[in-house]
Amino acid sequence: MARVLVAVICVLSLSLVLGRELMGLYGRLTSPGFPHTYPDHQHVRWNITVPEGHRVRLYFTHFSLEHSELCEYDYVQVLSGSNETLRFCGQTEKDHEETPGGAVLYSAGNAMSVVFRSDYSNEGRFTGFQAFYAAEDIDECRSGLDGDPACAHYCHNYVGGHYCTCRSGYLLHSDKRACTVPCSGQVLTRRSGVLTSPGYPEPYPGMSQCHFQIQLEEGFRLVLEFLEPFDVEAHPNVSCPYDVLKIHTEMREYGPFCGSTPPARIKTGTHQVHVLFKADATGKNKGWKIRYTSTATPCPHPVPPPHGRIQPWQALYMFTDSINVTCKRGYKLFQGTKNLTSYQAVCQSDGTWSSSMPECHLVDCGQPEGIPLGQVSVTTTTYQSSVQYTCAPSFNLRGSQNGTYFCAQDGYWRNSLGSRELPECRPCP
């Protein structure tokens, strides 16, 4: 019993893993004792590491191990950085399918492990293996990362790495891979307009972080209508885990929205709306388009005063609309007893006009001035009335064709030449 125990202890001690670290750009590894037969009870592990941006290239030039089903006796095992495991056994010269043959093996990253294991007997006097490895530059631009393109737009490979650049108008994201467009800080102030995801209807760029604001004057109420195509990446079981569109107002939040069905029309009831859009790095969806309009409490339709007119004349007047009132020729604007040179009223947010309607009064030039050594006859003094100046006997009028003056639009008496200068009475020659 003691002899058996000693034998077991010896076997366990011989089976301890012998680890070897290989960190050069190239190298060679062989089974223990190569090119002679390998010993029993071996467990050797080579950990190969090459610089970042490279992968391990491994191939066997000699392979002679005991053959067994599923390689359960003696074997060489290759472990890649992606946890992929390959196990080999048998003899190349006998064309066993389990041998590596002339295959070239590559690591997924910059590390690979090779394990050699032999059991308690090598009766066939097998001579093991010889393999060579080398560091090989990874063309990230060709292979990409995790099956996805290495760069969103342009990829530039160099020995040991790569870098990304973007098309004109795009910015390289902080992840150094995605290309985004500036889509935050835009403020829309017009009463109606259109808002879209970046590049719509072309696929929006990954890693988009957009914040738009529609800001109208207080008193307006915004209405949002989502147009087709509406295409935001979605998930069949989870609500918008990838890309998401949200609408915020002071009163509530609408969304999240994603998928291919446009959301229903939104009457926000407010003058200010925030539109938030967030996209992850994946997906090739077309995005969204919003047409917004605004409504407001209308003001009563204005009625022009007698002898007056309103400009502009329109069927409906809404908040911030303005009107100007002018009078027909021969009339002047008055607000109460105050003479106005012009008049404007604005439709206010509560649906009232900022000022009451003025009146149009007929122009009155008043009593004309008298002249020395003459007199003036007056009938009426309102617009287009006329007065006649005459001189005393032995005096003639000078400075006016016939002494007739008219009440003009500006409220002054003027002669037929438009002059306000009064005539003179001079002695006859």
Q: How many CB atoms lie within 10 A of CB 271?
A: 20
- % of the chain beyond a pLDDT of 70: 93
Average pLDDT, the chain: 89
Query: Is the pLDDT at 312 greater than 60, yes or no?
Result: yes
Q: In the numeric block, which tokens belong to residue 394?
A: 């032995």
Query: Is the pLDDT at 1 greater than 60, yes or no?
Result: no
pLDDT of residue 81: 65
Domain-by-domain residue ranges, the chain? 14-137, 141-172, 184-295, 308-362, 374-427
Domain 184-295 has CATH 2.60.120.290: yes
Query: Is the pLDDT at 3 greater than 50, yes or no?
Result: no
| Range 335-363 average pLDDT | 93
pLDDT of residue 8: 31
Q: Distance from CA of residue 150 to its chain's centroid? A: 22
**Residue range 91-132, pLDDT digits in tens:** 998 888 899 999 999 998 899 999 999 999 887 889 999 999
pLDDT of residue 82: 62
> Between 3.40.50.300, 2.10.70.10, 1.10.340.30, 3.30.43.10, what CATH number should domain 308-362 receive?
2.10.70.10
pLDDT of residue 17: 62
Place 141 in a pLDDT band, splitting at 50, 70 and 90.
confident
106, 134 Cβ separation under 8 angstroms: no
412, 420 Cβ separation under 8 angstroms: yes
Q: Do domains 184-295 and 374-427 have the same CATH topology?
A: no
pLDDT of residue 411: 94
pLDDT of residue 83: 60
**Residue range 285-305, pLDDT digits in tens:** 999 999 999 998 899 999 999
371 three-state secondary structure: coil
Query: Is the pLDDT at 85 greater than 90, yes or no?
Result: no
pLDDT of residue 29: 96
**Residue range 142-163, pLDDT digits in tens:** 865 456 788 888 999 988 888 9
**Residue range 224-235, pLDDT digits in tens:** 999 999 999 999
Which architecture, in CATH terms, is 374-427? Ribbon (2.10)
Domain 14-137 fold is Jelly Rolls (2.60.120)
pLDDT of residue 170: 85
Report CA-CA distances (Å) from 271 to 133, 204, 394: 68, 28, 80
E strands, 65-145, in order: 75-80, 85-88, 104-106, 111-117, 128-137
Residue 363 burial (CB < 10 Å; 0-12/13-18/19+)? Answer: buried
User: Regarding beta strands 386-391 and 75-80, do their DSSP bridges make them parallel or antiparallel, or are they unpaired?
Assistant: unpaired
Q: List, in order, residues 6 or more apart from 244 with CB less than 8 Å away.
A: 232, 255, 256, 257, 258, 277, 278
**Residue range 160-203, pLDDT digits in tens:** 888 999 988 888 988 888 888 888 888 999 999 999 999 899 89
**Structure-model confidence comparison of residues 185 and 48, the more confident one:** 48
pLDDT of residue 147: 62
| Range 320-344 average pLDDT | 94
Place 5 in a pLDDT band, splitting at 50, 70 and 90.
very low
Query: Is the pLDDT at 400 greater than 80, yes or no?
Result: no
Q: In the numeric block, which tokens belong to residue 413?
A: 């008496």
Q: Distance from CA of residue 403 to its chain's centroid? A: 77
Nearest CA to 313 out of 302, 299, 327 is that of 302
Q: Which residues lie across from 180 on neighbouring strands?
A: 171
Give the residue ranges of DSSP H helices in 95-204: 140-143
Q: In the numeric block, which tokens belong to residue 112?
A: 């690979």
Query: Is the pLDDT at 388 greater than 50, yes or no?
Result: yes
Q: Which residues lie across from 364 on neighbouring strands?
A: 382
- % of the chain beyond a pLDDT of 90: 71
